[in-house]
C-alpha cells in the first residue's frame, strides 16, 4: 500500500495547475445515461473516483473513449472523455461497484428517467457520517416513482407513462439529491419545481451541461430550480469547472507554509467565503489573468472561527484543511461542523503531530502551537488525508501519511504539484 513521505519546513513558490472538479465531473458523467448521443466532457480529472465511475457506467452500457489533454497543459493532467450510451445494457447498479463510491448511487435518477426502472445498491463511500438516501428517494417519489428497499437495494419504477413533473421542497439542502432530482426531471412530463435546492457551483455546472443537451432548466445556483421536461436529450460538449476544493486546499497549504504560489485555471467566484476566511488569517489573495495568487509573509497565522455551511458558506470539504492551518495560528480558533456528524476523525491524527485540539459535540477548539513535529499518521477519509499533508508540510522532520488511496480519490497528482513548488513530498510504494 502506498504512503506519502513529507519533509516539512519548505515555503511553497511557483505555479499549481488546478484540475477539473471531481464533484462536478461525477454527476456530469452520470448525465451521459440520459441520452443515446455522445456527451463529451473536457477537463475531467484523472482520479480514482472517476475511474471507478467509468467502470460503473460501462456496466450500464456506456461506451467510453479517453483522449487529449488540457490546452497548454502538460501530459498527465485533466482529460477529454467521450461517453456514448446508445442503449442501457443493465438497469442494476450492483453492490460490489456502488459500495466503493457514494456518488455512483446517483445513476438511479437517469436510469429511472430513461428506462422507467432502476435497481441500485445502497451506497458506500467515506465514513464521515450516515448520509442517508432518504432525500434522494423522496424527491423521486414526488415525480411519481415507486420505491422499495429490499436486500440492500433500492428498487425504483416509474409510472407506465413515465415520471411526472411536480413541486418538491427538500427538508434539508443536499447536493447529491439536487443532482439526482434535476437529472430525473429533465425527461419527466411537465414542470418540476425544486425548492431548497443546493446552490453549489457544481449544481449549476450540471444544469449548464444538461441545457446544452437540450434540457430546459432555470434557476440553478439559486434556492429554486425549475425544470421543463423534454422528450429526449441530445449529445453535447462541456468543460468541467475548476475544482474549488482543490483550489482552497492549495491556498491553505500556502497559508500554512508561507511563500508565493499562483493557482492556475481557477476562479475566486467558486469559493469567495473560504478565500475571505483565508485573508483573515493573514494570507494575501489576488486574482490574476490565469487564476489566483496566494502569498503569505512571515508574520504568522491569525486565528479565525468558522462554521461549515452549504454554499455559499464555508465548505465542509475544506474544514479539515482549515483545522490543519489553525494548528499553527497565534491563538485559539473554533471550528463548528454542521454538515456531517462524524467529520472530526482527523483530530487524533493531527494531535500526533503536536496539535492541541479539543472536541465538544460538533465544535472543535484549536489552540495554535509554535511548532508541529513529524510523525506517522493515518488518513481516515479524503479531506482528512490532505489535511495531514498540509500539516506535514509545516511540521519539523518527517511525516508519513498512510492510506493515501483516499488522496487518490480526489487530488490529481498532488505530490507532483507540491514538489514543483519546492515541497519535499514523495510517494513510497511498499
Which has the minimum average pLDDT: 76-85, 195-204, 256-265, 395-404? 76-85
Integer angstrom CA distances of residue 8 from 11, 257, 375, 423: 9, 9, 11, 7
Tell me the pTM: 0.94
Q: For residue 429, count CB atoms less than 10 angstroms from its CB and return exposed for 0-12, middle for 13-18, buried for 19 or more.
A: exposed
- Give the pLDDT score at 71: 45
pLDDT, average across residues 44-52: 93
Sorting pLDDT into bands at 50, 70 and 90, what band is 77?
Answer: low
CA distance 230 to 158: 16
Three-state secondary structure along 292-308?
EEEEECCCCECCCCEEE
Q: pLDDT over 70 for what percent of the chain?
A: 95
pLDDT tens-digit map of 383-401: 788 999 999 999 999 999 9
CA–CA distance, 414 with 425 (Å, rounded to integer): 9
Binding residue positions for UDP-N-acetyl-alpha-D-glucosamine: 102, 131-135, 172-175, 317, 339
Q: Average pLDDT, stretch 81-107?
A: 92
At the fourth CATH level, the homologous superfamily of domain 22-228 is Enolpyruvate transferase domain (3.65.10.10)
Binding residues for phosphoenolpyruvate: 22-23
| pLDDT of residue 126 exceeding 70 | no
List the alpha helices (DSSP H) in 282-399: 319-326, 347-352, 382-394
How many alpha carbons lie under 13 Å from residue 40 in its C-beta half-sphere? 6
Known binding-site positions: 22-23, 102, 131-135, 172-175, 317, 339
Task: Locate the domains of the chain by residue range.
Answer: 3-18+243-428, 22-228
Q: Indicate whether 13 pLDDT > 70.
A: yes
CATH of domain 3-18+243-428: 3.65.10.10
Question: The dihedral of CA 84, 87, 89, 90: what is its sign?
Answer: positive
For the stretch 334-381, pLDDT in tens is 999 998 766 788 999 999 999 999 999 999 999 999 999 999 999 887
Quote the strand ranges of 328-384, DSSP E: 332-336, 356-360, 363-367, 376-378
Asked whether residue 130 carries a pLDDT value surpassing 80, the answer given is no
User: Span 26-43, mean pLDDT?
Assistant: 98
Q: What confidence score (pLDDT) does residue 61 get?
A: 97
**Could you tell me if 175 and 153 are in contact, meaning their C-beta atoms sit under 8 angstroms apart?**
no
Interval 283-299 mean pLDDT: 92
Mean pLDDT, the chain, whole residue set? 93
What pLDDT is attached to residue 75?
47
Instruction: For residue range 216-242, list pLDDT tens digits in order.
Output: 999 999 999 999 999 999 999 999 999
> With 70 as the cut, is the pLDDT of residue 68 above it?
no
Same fold, 3-18+243-428 and 22-228: yes
Q: Across 45-195, where does the E strand assignment appear? A: 63-67, 79-84, 92-93, 117-121, 146-150, 153-157, 167-169, 191-195
More confident residue, 382 or 191: 191
- What is the mean pLDDT of the segment spanning 90-112? 91
How do residues 162-216 score in pLDDT, each as one tens digit?
A: 999 999 999 999 999 999 999 999 999 999 999 999 999 999 999 999 999 999 9
Label residue 406 by pLDDT band (50, 70, 90): confident
- The residues assigned a catalytic role are 126
| Whether the bond into 312 is cis, omega within 30 of 0 | yes
For residue 42, what pLDDT is reported?
A: 96
Amino acid at each position: 500500500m502506498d504512503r506519502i513521505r513529507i519533509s516539512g519546513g519548505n515555503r511553497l513558490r511557483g505555479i499549481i495547475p488546478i484540475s477539473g472538479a471531481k464533484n462536478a465531473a461525477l454527476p456530469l458523467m452520470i448525465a451521459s445515461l440520459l441520452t443515446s448521443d455522445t456527451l463529451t466532457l473536457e477537463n475531467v480529472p484523472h482520479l480514482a473516483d472517476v475511474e471507478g465511475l467509468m467502470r460503473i457506467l460501462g456496466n450500464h452500457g456506456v461506451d467510453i473513449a479517453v483522449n487529449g489533454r488540457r490546452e497548454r497543459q502538460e501530459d498527465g493532467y485533466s482529460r477529454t472523455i467521450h461517453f456514448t450510451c446508445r442503449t442501457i445494457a443493465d438497469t442494476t447498479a450492483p453492490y460490489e461497484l456502488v459500495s466503493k463510491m457514494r456518488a455512483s448511487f446517483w445513476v438511479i435518477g437517469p436510469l429511472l428517467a430513461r428506462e422507467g426502472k432502476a435497481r441500485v445498491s445502497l451506497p458506500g463511500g467515506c465514513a464521515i457520517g450516515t448520509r442517508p438516501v432518504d432525500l434522494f428517494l423522496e424527491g423521486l417519489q414526488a415525480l411519481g416513482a415507486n420505491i422499495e428497499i429490499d436486500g440492500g437495494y433500492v428498487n425504483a419504477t416509474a409510472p407506465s407513462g413515465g415520471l411526472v413533473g411536480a413541486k418538491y421542497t427538500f427538508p434539508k439542502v443536499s447536493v447529491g439529491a439536487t443532482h439526482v432530482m434535476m437529472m430525473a426531471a429533465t425527461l419527466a412530463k411537465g414542470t418540476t419545481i425544486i425548492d431548497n435546492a443546493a446552490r453549489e457551483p457544481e449544481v449549476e455546472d450540471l444544469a449548464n451541461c444538461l441545457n446544452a443537451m437540450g434540457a430546459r432548466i432555470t434557476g440553478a445556483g439559486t434556492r429554486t430550480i425549475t425544470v421543463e421536461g423534454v422528450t429526449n436529450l441530445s449529445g453535447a460538449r462541456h468543460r468541467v469547472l475548476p475544482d474549488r476544493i482543490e483550489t482552497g486546499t492549495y491556498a491553505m497549504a500556502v497559508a500554512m507554509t508561507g511563500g508565493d504560489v499562483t493557482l492556475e485555471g481557477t476562479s475566486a467566484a467558486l469559493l469567495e467565503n473560504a478565500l475571505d476566511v483565508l485573508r483573515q488569517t493573514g494570507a494575501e489573495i489576488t486574482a490574476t489573468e490565469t487564476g489566483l495568487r496566494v502569498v503569505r509573509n512571515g508574520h504568522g497565522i491569525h486565528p479565525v472561527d468558522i462554521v461549515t455551511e452549504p454554499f455559499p458558506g464555508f465548505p465542509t470539504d475544506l474544514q479539515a484543511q482549515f483545522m490543519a492551518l489553525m494548528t499553527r495560528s497565534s491563538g485559539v480558533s473554533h471550528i463548528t461542523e454542521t454538515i456531517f456528524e462524524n467529520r472530526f476523525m482527523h483530530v487524533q491524527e493531527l494531535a500526533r503531530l503536536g496539535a492541541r485540539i479539543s472536541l465538544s459535540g460538533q465544535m472543535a477548539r484549536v489552540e495554535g502551537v509554535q511548532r508541529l513535529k513529524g510523525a506517522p499518521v493515518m488518513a481516515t477519509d479524503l479531506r482528512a488525508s490532505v489535511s495531514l499533508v498540509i500539516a506535514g508540510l509545516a511540521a519539523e522532520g518527517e511525516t508519513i501519511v498512510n492510506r493515501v488511496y483516499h488522496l487518490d480519490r480526489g487530488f490529481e497528482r498532488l505530490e507532483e504539484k507540491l514538489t514543483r513548488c519546492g515541497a519535499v513530498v514523495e510517494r513510497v510504494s511498499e
